[in-house]
Amino acid sequence: MSIANSTDEIRGAAAYTVPPTSRLLRRSTWLEFAIVLEALLLLIYPGWRAEPLAWAVAGISIPLASWLILRRIVLRGYLRSPSPEDGRLIDPRWEGFRFSGWGGDTLTAYRLPSEAPSKGLILYIHGYGSSLRRAEPRCRHMNELDIDIVGMNLRGHGGCKLRDEWTLLKLVADLEALLHQLSLELEKLPEQVWIYGHSMGGFLALRLGAHPSGWWKSRLAGVIVESPVTSYPLIIERTMPRFLRFTMPWVRWILRREHERIHPDLPVRYATAAIPHMGLPTAPVLALQAAEDRRLGLIHFDELSKALTQHQTPCELHVIEGHVHTTEKDTEARKKLVEQWLRPNQKGVLH
């Protein structure tokens, strides 16, 4: 099956415009070169230190250097994915296919077909720093319910080397493109589609569920989130090192400027990249939260619970005792809740 470039399909969950490229170095890079050159001159020519001009230039360069260092920290910490782990899948039943993601990047997705006649499809979205491989036990469990599973190692994860200028909106665009390509790969489209997101994947699942599109819009039966991220600003503020927290106004400014540069059609601002501003799913929601969540705590789940209740979104909310954040461990309680939510004749989640 050929890779489709589905630019004509109407979507709305992500940003799609690719910024123009330039062969010239950016201004920040020229400034870095200039400051390094100045430092070398001070080291090589001691006589230059006695010049008043040298101290005047240093007085300007020191704050600029501090700003550039902070910018580097922000870019590496929040706009570059972590070093990808081994994402090679273990179960030989996975069927891979290629598709064109954000910016025309070629990515690989995987489908785990049901051994019995399929009663639907689940798009599984893993979390930050994780991979589809880590989530295989969860995928196999849901696959045993006679449901096809589709997923991918997200951009910058599980062996994918697209790590730079990494944004959540690129991931959302990739997932929309995956679903479009899947419609070309399958002989028959599933009657029902669910989206399952863990941690950061929960954030992406909620965004997709709030802006369904294409063939799966009318087939979206529900969204499942497990220990979800529900606020991008909260993640930034909670992960910023203590000694740098006084720089948060500048950090927010850097992130806003970089997102505007990467995404000229940016649909979500820094302050609105959170529930409920980014939208709530149009389908029922099953929200599962690890009681022993040492990574996110309960604050994200609490915000989601409040938003779903206020907007009267059909939902089930569960805090699972003995359950932890990572997908490397699981509990029977989580499995049972997922089964009960999906199983009613596989025709829907609410009756």
pLDDT, one tens digit per residue, over 75-118 is 999 999 998 888 899 999 999 999 999 999 999 999 999 999 98
39 located within any domain: no
Bond prior to 233 in cis (omega within 30° of 0): no
pLDDT at 209 over 70: yes
Q: Which residues pair with 290 in a beta bridge?
A: 320
Is residue 69 within 8 A of residue 243, CB to CB? The reply is no
Distance CA 140, CA 118 (A): 14
Mean per-residue pLDDT, 59-84 = 84
What the block records as the tokens of 285 is 């929601």
CA nearest to 200, candidates 165, 239, 161, 162: 239
Task: Indicate if the pLDDT at residue 184 is higher than 50.
Answer: yes
Please report whether residue 25 resides in a domain. Answer: no
Does any domain span residue 284? yes
What pLDDT is stored for residue 3 in this prediction? Answer: 62
Determine whether 43 is exposed, middle or buried from the number of CB atoms within 10 Å of its CB (0-12, 13-18, 19+).
exposed
Contacts 24+ apart (CB under 8 A), 68-74: 68/28, 68/31, 68/32, 68/35, 70/244, 70/247, 70/250, 70/251, 70/254, 71/28, 71/254, 73/244, 74/251, 74/254, 74/255, 74/258
Judged on CB neighbours under 10 Å (0-12, 13-18, 19+), 182 is: buried
Mean pLDDT for 219-229 is: 97
Please, which residues bridge with residue 286 across strands?
224, 316
CB 96 within 8 A of CB 151: no
99 is in which domain, residue-wise? Answer: 95-342
Q: How much is the pLDDT for 10? A: 64
Give CA–CA dist 203/290, Å, rounded.
16
- For residue 312, what is the domain's CATH number? 3.40.50.1820
Higher pLDDT residue, 221 or 72?
Answer: 221
Q: How far apart are CA 148 and CA 101, in angstroms?
A: 22
Percentage of residues in the chain having pLDDT higher than 70:
90
- Is pLDDT of 24 > 90? no
Question: What pLDDT was estimated at residue 291?
Answer: 96
Between CA 98 and CA 50 the distance in angstroms is 62
Structure token pair of residue 76: 């590496």
Distance, in Å, from the CA atom of 43 to the CA atom of 36, rounded to the nearest integer, reads: 11
Find the mean pLDDT for residues 254-279.
92
pLDDT score at 348: 40
Mean pLDDT (whole number) for 289-301: 95
For residue 62, is it within any domain? no
CB atoms inside a 10 Å sphere around CB 152: 28
Q: Is 170 domain-assigned?
A: yes
How many domains would you assign to the chain?
1
Q: 285 φ, ψ to 5°?
A: -125, 135
Starting at the edge strand that comes first in sequence, how are the strands of the sheet with 315-324 ordered? 95-100, 106-112, 148-152, 121-125, 193-198, 220-226, 285-292, 315-324
Both tokens of 24, joined, read: 């010239």
Mean local confidence (pLDDT), 40-67: 74
Residue 307 has what pLDDT? 97
Average pLDDT, the chain: 89
Residue 61 lies in a domain: no
pLDDT > 90: percent of the chain: 69
132 domain residue, yes or no? yes
Return the pLDDT at 146.
95
3-state secondary structure of 196: strand
Alpha-carbon dihedral sign for residues 250, 253, 254, 255:
positive
Q: Which two tokens stand for residue 64?
A: 């600029």
